A and B are shown apart, each in its own frame.
Chain A
Amino acid sequence: MPWVLALLVFLPTAAFAQQAAPRLISDSPEYCAELSGRFSALSAEAPAHLRLLADEGRQLCAEGQTRSGIAKLRRALKEAQRGE
């Protein structure tokens, strides 16, 4: 019986802790748009393969695959900055 009581106390506490934890917002469509804007500012000098990579990222964001899209946009941005 004590373990049932412990479970009853622990589970809501754990659930509350999860709800109360701050949330990362760098995986939202808005952030996707922010990264797209940053790349557009560099795209004039960026090589074609990086522009293609950024386009793929934008496409994925538009399709709702935000994290994958953000990852591609970040890679394109990093490569573009390295090439500057």
Chain B
Amino acid sequence: MAAPAEDRDGWRDIRAYLKSAGFRFAALFAVLFLAAILGFALMLWWGTAGTLSRQLDDAIRADAIGLQEAWRGGGTAAARDAIGGRLAVDIDDHAIYLLMDGAGNRLAGNLDRWPGAAEAPGSWSGDMVRRDGVAVPARVYHLPLDQGHRLLIGRDATDREKLRSLLSEALLWSFAVAVAFALAGAAALRRALADRLRAAAATAGAIAAGDLSRRVPLSTQRDEFDQLGESMNAMLDRIDQLMIGIKGVSDSIAHDLRTPIARARMRLEHALLTAPDEESLRAAIETTVADLDGISRVFQALLRIAEAEAGARRAAFASFDLATVLTDAAEVYGALAEERGQQLETSWPEKLTMMGDRDMVLQAIANLLDNAVKFTPEGGTIRLRASAPARGKREIIVRDEGPGLAAEDRARAGERFFRADPSRALPGSGLGLSLVKAVAALHGGELRLGDGQAGAARPGLEARLILSSRA
């Protein structure tokens, strides 16, 4: 009873082998190789046996024209003379002629009767004739003449048939050798492909099993397989970085949210145990609700960053005017800056159309302005500018007069929950620039941070948000 199961397994293996890319590439190679050999064989045949056949037909045709001229010039007698003359000097003994009248009487030539295959007037045929009792191949042409007369002109085709036979045999053997080479070459190609892909497959298998440290080994050949391996390794490095990032975010969430949650709990517990009246208890609950709203905002920001990074919102991209978005943002943050004794200077063209997610871009600009207002001292100036520096590009620059960011802090500024030392005392979650960076990436652009005034005691921060205006 085990035999049928084994048969099924064997059949499955064969089907898997036939479906494999290695086999298909190898089969393609074999087919192309054999097609090339077949083309070569056809050219060889056309150039040798074909040429000989065409020469034979040309000689018969020329002979037919000559004899037809003789017939037209002198009738039966002239044709008989011409045939006799031609046969008399046919040293090779290859010529075949037969002239017959309308009644079927033989008038001239060296054939005893008309061959059956050449009955149709104007027809060419390959027939057999007997020479010394032996059948030999012949090529003949039936030329119809006046008054029911007809003329057969032909040549002994033994030499041509011998060449054909020799050539056929040689080509058949050559084809058999070519098939053997094609099969051997295909097998070698399949093996070479399998060998080169084995390392990548083993790496992918190890990673699937959980070993993320494995990488595809590269050879010194720098071929397409090495390029594939390099791409896979780059992809794995990126996945590794993302995994580390996710772990960092998880740690940051646990760390940054533990304190406000613990504080809210303590406040509620304290109020529950010590509140002298209902009003004190209500005040404690309201404060806690505000704290919990802050936590909720952090999660909302995290979700928006994740959404932007996933690119899911790209499907909702639409054309909008960036100038209008900038005006809206300037209106809100201009009022806020004024409250804090700051000035907001703006500058952008009348129209700045682009494709993208309007809400996300507005959120990114708002985050940049929020930071600028937060860090610029009273009496300071915040500059908001936008332009189209190149075809398909939009640039938004927010410059403040705050303490700026150290070079090492700028490199980490896009990380979630990262806050530079001078800003720890100020309110914020450390997610603002992360979202800006994610929005820039979503729009095929980037966020560049630099000094507002290089060399100054308070250099300020210049955030340059570059976006692609095409989807």
Chain A residues with a Cβ under 8 A of chain B:
17-18, 20-27, 31, 34-35, 38, 67, 70-71, 74-75, 77-78, 81
Contacts and interface: CB of A to CB of B under 8 A. Distances in A.
A26 B90 CA distance: 10
Nearest to A26: B110
Contacts of A35: 88
A18 B128 contact: yes
A67 B134 CA distance: 14
Among B88, B93, B128, B135, the one with the most A-chain Cβ atoms within 10 Å of its Cβ is B88
30 contacts: A17-B128, A18-B128, A18-B130, A18-B135, A20-B116, A21-B135, A22-B111, A22-B112, A22-B113, A22-B115, A23-B111, A23-B112, A23-B113, A23-B129, A24-B112, A25-B111, A25-B112, A26-B87, A27-B93, A27-B132, A34-B84, A38-B88, A70-B93, A74-B89, A74-B91, A75-B91, A77-B89, A78-B89, A78-B91, A81-B89
Given A24-B110, A25-B112, A75-B91, 16 more contacts: A18-B130, A20-B116, A21-B127, A22-B114, A22-B127, A23-B131, A24-B96, A24-B131, A25-B111, A38-B88, A70-B93, A74-B89, A74-B90, A74-B93, A77-B89, A81-B89
A25 B91 contact: no
Contacts of B130: 18, 21-24
Contacts of B87: 26
Contacts of A74: 88-91, 93
Interface of B: 84, 87-91, 93, 96, 98, 110-116, 127-132, 135
Given A26-B110, A27-B131, A38-B88, A21 B115 contact: yes
A67 B135 CA distance: 17
Contacts of A27: 93, 131-132
Contacts of B116: 20
Nearest to A24: B131
Which 7 pairs of residues, A with B, have the shortest CB-CB distance? Answer: A26-B110, A78-B89, A21-B128, A23-B130, A18-B135, A23-B112, A24-B131
